[in-house]
Amino acid sequence: MELTESNKKSGTSAEGCIETAAASKAENFADSTVVSVTACTVAESVTTTPADSSAIKTMGFCGPCSASEPAVIDVKDGRMLRTRPLSYTKNAPAGGLNPWTIRARGKEFKAAEKSELSPYALVAKQRVYSANRILYPMKRKDWSPGGDPTKINAQNRGKSGYERISWDEATEIIANEVMRIKDTYGINSVFVQSDGHHQVKSLHGPRGCEGALLDILGGYTLQARNPDSWEGWYWGAKHVWGQDPVGQGSCNNLFYDIAKHTDTLLHWGCDVCTTPWAWGGQFPSRYCFFLHDIGVKQIYICPDFNYGAAAHADKWIPVLPNTDSALQLAIAYVWLTEDLYDKEYIETHSTGFDWFVYHLTGGDDLTPKTPEWAESICGVPARTIKALARHWAKRNVSIAHGNGGSFIRSTYSHEPARLEVALLGMQALGKPGRNQVKMMEYQLFSLAEQMPAPRSEVIPNLFAVLLPYAADTRESLVPETLVPEALVGDYSNEQPLEWYGTTVAGMPVEDQFKKYSYPAKDFKRIHMLWIDSPKWTSSWNCGNLYIDAVRNPIIETIVVQHIWMEDDCLLADILLPVNTKFEEFDINCDIMSGNYNSLVIEKQAIKPLGESKSDWECAAEVAKKLGADVFKQFSNNNEPIESRAQRGFDASGIQDRLTWEEFNNKEVYVVPAAKDWQDDAAGFYNFYRWPNHYPLKTPSGLLEYYSQRLAESFPNDDERGPYPKWIEKGKTHPDERLSTPRSSKYPFLLVSNHPHFRMHSQLDDCAWLREIKMCKVKGPDGYAYEPVWINPIDAQELGVKSGDVVKLFNERGWTLGGVIVSNRIIRHAVLQDHGARIDPIEPGVSDRGGTNNLIAPKKIISQNCAGEVTSGYLVGVEKVDVFELAKLYPEAFSRPYDPETGPLHINHALREERN
């Protein structure tokens, strides 16, 4: 086979392993769907003696300038040996760390002495040496550059195999295609997609390397980066409490405030043992154990007994997905009718409360929002709603969030977000012990107010050397939620696709009132995609329609650069192999771990595998083909990477504390805790105490139960109206509830949370995670199916038991899952985490991987809010016979498959090439 020669040339052991895997599959493939692959366990790769070098690497996934979880990677004989926590104390600066301690109720919670890594960090080795790595540039075999519809074979994207090509050929093709598109349609017909959350890198990208190059040629159309995990706060809560740019509450110093003053913490749709693992580590869970020790009651309100609840809940109140608004309104109704709220605070701190009362009492819809009314919608007994309302009114209650899930990512998600602020207001938001706290993404956007843990002396940043970031904005853009429509919809300059707001995560609220259109004025539509960190199919709203869109010949060229063969890689025409961060030199600032901030030099730990390059180098290789001037400009005169790192350091905020040489030598600077952190006003305290001197960022400076601005800007919007309310159905989503007609065909609400055993679709190929009991369900055919939690009573009615395989379906297609019958999920809902790697059966229709985003509603949150709806929607559930399916779809069910890794699409491609 063709690979052998090149393997001999490059000769890293991992390549050898993958080679072995591919070869063994070729032999066994014809007879069996499950082939045994022993990836990377060859004897010569065994390490027997201590490490001979180490490198520090941040292991979190948030994004540039938002790293977390610094770890030490030990290396031996050029291979990664192990992953260890980084010691803060051993790496303390000369003046010490000024380690902080929260003292409350006779107990202490201290800064950790070493980083608190999540399990995701511990599978690093498996990800690096995965059989799923893309190691060489590839070209889809039945695609030809040039834009000729008969030679594109767009209909075969997701089906046809790949052939290996050289870097020279790949970059030549890309450069020619870019110039051809530019000359034919204009440079804005190249669409740059960079999906959120990948390994965090500063100098190497991803996120925008290709954009930086295209800007030299005149521009590109940007896939705008949504506030995808906190949609409701962005589109809803901002209109009640301001809170630009995030939309969530002020978290400043709240861990101290909660420890001192809070009686009950409501984890509302929050899983402190899932999302923080990718955006910070184990710190929030350790804090929740401390809250238990000091007697703070922790109540979880969510459809599922999630992993945070499993570790920390004193009580679980199961609520049907995306019916939180009804529960919230009933709580407010109890407070109103039993006189259990802070009327003086409402008087001095809010405006428009009478409108809210009008809705509560049924003035607008003739339905008083009683607990009995809510019970029939949300599934929480009226007596429990009353008990919760009274419990809350007597105590200091704060609410914790961790992003994602049905609470904040479903239809009309602006309503539960606005209603939560309305409730917090009724109990004097900002009074000690009464705030909203976020359990992850500390110091998001480098904001001090987004830090509930004790403050560090500085928040280091690397703004000086960041590439144009995918969270930027520009004139020509498409929101992530509208990509399929933009790609193939019938839009033109005369009849453009229109929506409100750039939808970019960090934009101020004023942006939501501006209308945007695609194609932007004077530009033509998109004909080429250049994608890094792909995950549209597995993470956005209705991946099946995205697959349909890119199988249209109007999309002439798709370039994808990525580390692993997953998600949208399967749809590429050209694939470029990207390094993991362990193969790169970089500099990163860790601001999301919670204990201390730090600035880290990430030395190259191991050599790049195969012919992989960094995202930045991928773009640089194309730049070289575009001419010496373009490359010179792109590479800042071929500036050495160390020099770029030093420029980053020089403006990082810690450059006056030690020299570049000292920093480079130590590899890490841990920022001490601020001396006076205890004095920081917590959360909304200043607003609570002095509303006139510390107004909110709303037009009135007060909590706006009625938004005059919304009323004036969108007088005809009967979905996101001027005040928050219960919306059973509306123009945008007329039929997505258990109470609406489609539920007779699709009788379950799907809870699609951020995944517990991976980071979106990343890590789905790690054997050490896949073998954990709750991570995958082994079907009767030996395939590891993505779990579907089903309540025992529902399971009985459906006639399914644990270990069965079911189909989740609606009009938009179907995907499969392995049943876990469990009391951890409320009746009439099923849970399947989002982000399992796609494994198409019929591309655009059906999938074996459990990638439920493929069948999420395509429609946006509501008519003027272009956010995603990816949880809390209707699905049907039906038992399937996988052996029957295998007969119906022999090709999809006989794909090369390694039980430890999952489907191996790239080997599939290579196998075809060999035949």
Partner 1 sequence: MKVFVFDAQKCNGCYSCQIACKDEHCNNSWIPYALPQPTTGQYWMRVDEQEHGAIPKVRVEYTCVPCMHCDAAPCIKAAAAAGVADAVYKRADGIVIINPEAARGMRELVTACPYRAIYYNEELDLPQKCTGCAHLLDVGELPHCVDLCATGGLRFGEEEDFLAEIAQAETLMPECDTKPRVYYLNRPHLFIAGEVWDPYSNDIVEGALVTLTDAQGKKQIVSSDDFGDFWFNQLLAGSYELEIMAKGFVPVKRTIELAESLNLGDFPLQRKD
Q: Does 45 bind partner 1 (CB under 8 A)?
A: yes
Q: Does 753 bind partner 1 (CB under 8 A)?
A: no
Q: At what angle do helices 13-28 and 3-10 cross, to 10 degrees?
A: 160
Report the residue from 18, 35, 112, 259 that binds partner 1 according to the rule CB under 8 A.
112
Closest CB to partner 1 among residues 263, 511:
263
In the bound complex, what is the minimum distance in angstroms from residue 163's beta carbon to partner 1?
30
Which of 73, 64, 81, 61 is closest to 587 using CA atoms? 64
Report the residue from 316, 341, 469, 530 that binds partner 1 according to the rule CB under 8 A.
316
Report the residue from 261, 315, 632, 807 that binds partner 1 according to the rule CB under 8 A.
315
Closest CB to partner 1 among residues 354, 771:
771
Closest CB to partner 1 among residues 328, 502:
328
Question: b/e map of 594-625 (b: 16 or more CB within 10 Å)?
Answer: bbbbbbbbbbbbbebbbbbbbbbbbbbbbbbb
Length reported for the chain:
915
Which of 443, 349, 351, 339 is closest to 393 using CA atoms? 339
Report the residue from 201, 207, 239, 312 that binds partner 1 according to the rule CB under 8 A.
312
Q: Does 122 bind partner 1 (CB under 8 A)?
A: yes
Q: How far is CA 274 from CA 281, 444, 660, 819, in A?
A: 9, 18, 37, 21
In the bound complex, what is the minimum distance in angstroms from residue 194's beta carbon to partner 1?
29
Closest CB to partner 1 among residues 271, 566:
271
Report the residue from 25, 63, 86, 125 that binds partner 1 according to the rule CB under 8 A.
125
Cβ partners under 8 Å of residue 68, min gap 6: 58, 59, 60, 62, 200, 279, 280, 281, 590, 591, 592, 593
* 768 burial type by CB count under 10 A (0-12 exposed, 13-18 middle, 19+ buried): middle
CA 256 to CA 259: how far, in whole Å?
5
CA 724 to chain centre: 27
Closest CB to partner 1 among residues 292, 474:
292
Q: Does 772 bind partner 1 (CB under 8 A)?
A: yes
Which one of the spans 130-138, 491-499, 677-685, 761-769 is the region binding partner 1 (CB under 8 A)? 761-769
Q: Does 84 bind partner 1 (CB under 8 A)?
A: yes
Closest CB to partner 1 among residues 166, 823:
823
Q: Does 660 bind partner 1 (CB under 8 A)?
A: no
CA 783 to CA 785: how far, in whole Å?
6
Q: Does 285 bind partner 1 (CB under 8 A)?
A: yes
CA 897 to CA 782: how far, in whole Å?
10
Residues 356-375 that bind partner 1 (CB under 8 A): 372
Cβ partners under 8 Å of residue 112, min gap 6: 88, 283, 286, 595
Q: Are strands 846-847 and 813-821 parallel, antiparallel or unpaired?
A: parallel
Report the residue from 21, 81, 330, 816 that binds partner 1 according to the rule CB under 8 A.
81
Q: Does 774 bind partner 1 (CB under 8 A)?
A: yes
* 675 burial type by CB count under 10 A (0-12 exposed, 13-18 middle, 19+ buried): exposed
Residue type at position 31: D
CA 506 to CA 616: how far, in whole Å?
24
Report the residue from 56, 192, 327, 388 that binds partner 1 according to the rule CB under 8 A.
388
Q: By the 8 A CB rule, do 116 and 283 touch? A: yes
In the bound complex, what is the minimum distance in angstroms from residue 906's beta carbon to partner 1?
20
Query: Could you give the residue ranges of the DSSP H alpha helices within 635-761?
Result: 641-650, 660-666, 685-689, 708-713
In the bound complex, what is the minimum distance in angstroms from residue 302's beta carbon to partner 1?
11
Q: Does 90 bind partner 1 (CB under 8 A)?
A: no
Which one of the spans 154-162, 388-396, 643-651, 682-690 is the region binding partner 1 (CB under 8 A)? 388-396
Residues 819-848 that bind partner 1 (CB under 8 A): 822-827
**CA dihedral for 749, 753, 757, 759, sign (positive or negative):** positive
Q: How far is CA 106 from CA 102, 103, 265, in A?
A: 10, 7, 19
Give the count of residues interacting with partner 1 (CB under 8 A). 68
Site map (CB under 8 A) of partner 1, residues 781-800, x = contact: ----------xx--------
Residues that bind partner 1 (CB under 8 A): 38-41, 45-48, 50, 79, 81-85, 112, 116-119, 122-123, 125, 273, 277, 281-283, 285-286, 289, 292, 305, 307, 310-312, 315-318, 372, 381-384, 386-388, 390-391, 767-774, 791-792, 822-827, 900
